[in-house]
Homo-oligomer: A and B are copies of this chain.
Amino acid sequence: MTEFRFEIHKTDGRARTGVIHTPRGEIRTPAFMPVGTAATVKAMLPAQVWETGADIVLGNTYHLMLRPGAERIARLGGLHKFMGWERPILTDSGGFQVMSLAQLRKISEDGVRFQSHIDGHAEFLTPERSMEIQRLLGSDIQMVFDECPKLPAPESAIEKSLELSMRWARRSKAAFGEQPGHACFGIVQGGTVARLRQRSAEALREIGFDGYAVGGLAVGEPQNEMFDTLDATVPHLPADKPHYLMGVGKPDDLVGAVLRGIDMFDCVLPTRSGRNGQAFTRDGTLNLKNAKHADDPAPIDAACGCTACRQFSRAYLHHVVKANEIIASMLLTAHNLTFYQDVMTGMRAAIAGSSLDSWAASFLARYSAKTVADA
């Protein structure tokens, strides 16, 4: 059986490109992972996700434990079979969603009591239960259960939360145990406080993980604070293990993070934006709801190879967005995921060619964070 193994092919500054080998397939890095919250990348069939260029998708422990239930998925043969995606899956631990979605949270040393946001029933999530759920799902990359404090918060509160998260990281790793071919990743916390990030990174290194995630960012802080935090954190992570920036981000966030040594990303932005009628382009985002597109025979991007751009005009996309047709979500999600994968492909090639700095400068000079169609 293939072991879980990260192979770095080339570095360029702090950026790296390579492959994560897993029994379920290779993950080319830097990698963007589409989010498949409830056992589906919304509005996409698994084969269509694969066509965008994705090597791995993310599943949410919190959502899947509530519905349809981890034991049920295990009885049905695991998450891969259940959702029709036989390639690698990373699962988060549920820690972030417990804080952002669940009701009546009560945190103790043992874990978090909360009520389901779906039907209000009581649940109790601990490091041990989170890892058990991820094992039941058959996840290839399992994340430690951590506590995610809402930011901004006083440094003392961040530090206290961090200490709890590190104790939970140790319990998570112990609960993960030995699972050949599967990986367990630690999560660095510490807000935007460099000292705490370093302390967290050191605590995780001491436990020892197959990969290291940076959590608690992209929660509203300015981009430069996120980048400063990466500058203060990534050098303290083992260089030979994958570095995963959780929940990030906008295309320009991805570029800045890869320049700082990040190898993996996940974010709902391309899928959620697609369902909201927005399309990412090399110039920024287009809002297809905008009436200016009503008569435009051009595709979103003539250089894009996705289904939407090969076959449909902006006029058509405007029409189906306005008419709330499901095909609007299908086409714009496919386009946005393709765009994100194309950005990752571009960065991988640039790193391989030792030209990431100029690639990034060129990309960022053209890319506008604002909606170009409304300009």
Contacts and interface: CB of A to CB of B under 8 A. Distances in A.
B84 A320 contact: no
19 contacts: A38-B319, A38-B325, A39-B320, A40-B326, A40-B327, A42-B325, A42-B326, A43-B326, A46-B311, A67-B319, A72-B294, A72-B315, A76-B297, A76-B313, A82-B319, A83-B316, A84-B316, A326-B326, A326-B330
Nearest to A67: B323
Interface of A: 38-40, 42-46, 67-68, 72, 75-77, 82-84, 294-295, 297, 307, 311-313, 315-316, 318-320, 322-323, 325-327, 329-331
Contacts of A42: 325-327
- Please give me the 6 A-B residue pairs with the lowest Cβ-Cβ distance, nearest first: A43-B326, A84-B311, A68-B319, A40-B327, A38-B323, A40-B325
Contacts of A44: 327
A122 to B, nearest CB: 20
Contacts of A326: 40, 42-43, 326, 329-330
Contact of A68 (B77, B294, B297): B294
Given A40-B320, A297-B76, A68 B330 contact: no
Nearest to A329: B326
A274 to B, nearest CB: 11
Nearest to A68: B319
B68 A313 contact: no
A315 B76 contact: yes
A105 B295 CA distance: 30
A307 B45 contact: yes
Contacts of A82: 313, 315-316, 319
A295 B327 contact: no
Nearest to A333: B326
Given A38-B319, A67-B323, A76-B295, 14 more contacts: A38-B325, A40-B327, A42-B325, A42-B327, A43-B326, A43-B327, A45-B307, A45-B327, A76-B313, A82-B313, A82-B316, A82-B319, A84-B312, A326-B326
Nearest to A86: B311
A77 B297 CA distance: 9
Contacts of A325: 38, 40, 42
A313 B81 CA distance: 9
A77 B326 CA distance: 23
Contacts of A46: 311
Nearest to A328: B40
A327 B49 CA distance: 12
A78 B297 CA distance: 11
Contacts of A83: 316
A132 B215 CA distance: 60
A78 to B, nearest CB: 12
B45 A316 contact: no
Contacts of A313: 76, 82
Contacts of A40: 320, 325-327
A335 to B, nearest CB: 13
Specify which of A307, A325, A331 lies most central, judged by the most chain B CB atoms within 10 Å of its CB. A325
Contact of A45 (B39, B68, B330): B330
